[in-house]
Amino acid sequence: MLYVSSDEQLAMIKETARDFAHLHIKPFIMEWDESQKFPIELFKKLGDQGFMGILIPENYGGSGMGYQAYITILDEISKVCGSIGLSVAAHNSLCSNHILSFANEEQKQKYLPKLASAEWIGAWGLTETESGSDAGGLSTTAVSDGDYFILNGSKMFITHAISGDVAVVMARTGEKGDKRGISAFIVEKGTAGFSAGGKINKLGMRASETGSLFFDQCRIHKDQLIGEIGDGFVQALKLLDGGRISIAALSLGIARGAYECALKYANEREQFKTKIFDFQAVGFNLADMATKINAAELLIRQAGSLKDNHQKVTKEGAMAKLYASEIAVEISNDAVQILGGYGFTKDFPAEKFFRDAKLCTIGEGTSSIQRMVIAREIKKDV
pLDDT of residue 219: 98
pLDDT reported for residue 45: 97
| CA distance linking residue 196 with residue 184, whole number of Å | 18
Identify the active-site residue in 8, 351, 364, 377. Answer: 364
Instruction: Say if residue 379 is exposed, middle or buried (CB neighbours under 10 Å; 0-12, 13-18, 19+).
Output: exposed
> Does the pTM of the predicted model rise above 0.85?
yes
Answer whether residue 294 shows pLDDT above 70.
yes
**Residue 307 pLDDT exceeds 80:** yes
Alpha helices in the chain (DSSP H): 7-20, 29-35, 40-49, 67-80, 82-90, 97-102, 105-116, 232-266, 280-308, 314-339, 350-357, 367-379
pLDDT recorded at residue 317: 97
Rounded average pLDDT over 63-91: 97
Q: What is the mean pLDDT of residues 292-317?
A: 97
CA distance 358 to 81: 14
Instruction: Please state, rounded to an integer, the average pLDDT across all residues of the chain.
Output: 95
Residue 198 has pLDDT above 90, yes or no: no
Tell me the C-alpha distance between 34 and 154, whole Å.
28
228-272 pLDDT, tens digit per residue, is 999 999 999 999 988 899 999 999 999 999 999 999 999 999 999
pLDDT tier, 6 (very low <50, low <70, confident <90, very high otherwise): low
Active site residue 364: yes
